[in-house]
Amino acid sequence: MSLHPVQDVFTAAVSKPQLAILIDPDKPGNELVDTLGNTIEKSGVSMIFLGGSLLTHYEIEDKIAQLRKVTDAKIVMFPGAVPQICADADATLFMSLLSGRNPELLIGQQVIAAPLVRQMGIEAVSTGYMIVDGGRPTTASYMSGSAPIPRNKPEIAACTAMAGEMLGMRNMYLDAGSGADNHVPLEMIAAVRKSVNTPIIVGGGIRTPQQAEAVVEAGASIVVVGNATESNPNLIRDLSQVVHA
């Protein structure tokens, strides 16, 4: 049995793209979580990203337990801060904010999180995280105190990802942020794809199967969709068909 089962799924997604549904534990009520989990299971989606930039109340364990009852999808924490890491998850994205210049999010919080993740015994998925301008300020950019990569500068994203790969990071995450007006530019995804061999995760501002398909064709390995599926859970089925095709 592999010691890195979630990373194995990410790595396989380079040649066989995957869909991940992002659930903010601060948002959906119990009924919607059940609906999302059931639809994820029926649609053949293998991954759930759980987390957000801000939590106003803590219900992560409850949400994980609820999802476990209706789906076998891997639950991967997408933590906005150390307290969001949960031992009940299958793995956590262990991220460094490469696009920013805030030392706390480059390495400071990771030093605090590392012994907790080790003690919990959950898989740490090494990820270089880059915030991209999605057309409006997002919670992620505000809370991180960092300027996003400009939309018209794909070379900055490409060189940032290249540096992350050389530092040993095994995945790159391009995120326009929750509720973004626009998803990550296709030219930027393509430029990053040419610069690294790692899986590329792309999220933020993806609302339609057509957008998901374009993102995959540009080079994304894992497409992350959140807000759009909260308002229309049936969208998960259509997104899954396009991404997995």
Q: What is the pLDDT of residues 195-230, one digit of tens each?
A: 999 999 999 999 999 999 999 999 999 999 999 999
> In the numeric block, which tokens belong to residue 104?
């706390």
pLDDT for res 46: 95
Q: Does domain 5-244 have CATH number 3.20.20.390?
A: yes
Boundaries of every domain in the chain: 5-244
Q: What is the mean pLDDT of the chain?
A: 95
pLDDT digits (tens, 9 = 90+) for 88-137: 999 999 999 999 999 999 999 999 999 999 999 999 999 999 999 999 88
Tell me if residue 83 falls in helix, strand or coil. Answer: helix
Length of the chain: 245
Residue pair 88/82 in contact by the 8 Å Cβ criterion: no
Residue pair 115/83 in contact by the 8 Å Cβ criterion: no
**What are the residues facing 49 on neighbouring strands?**
22, 76
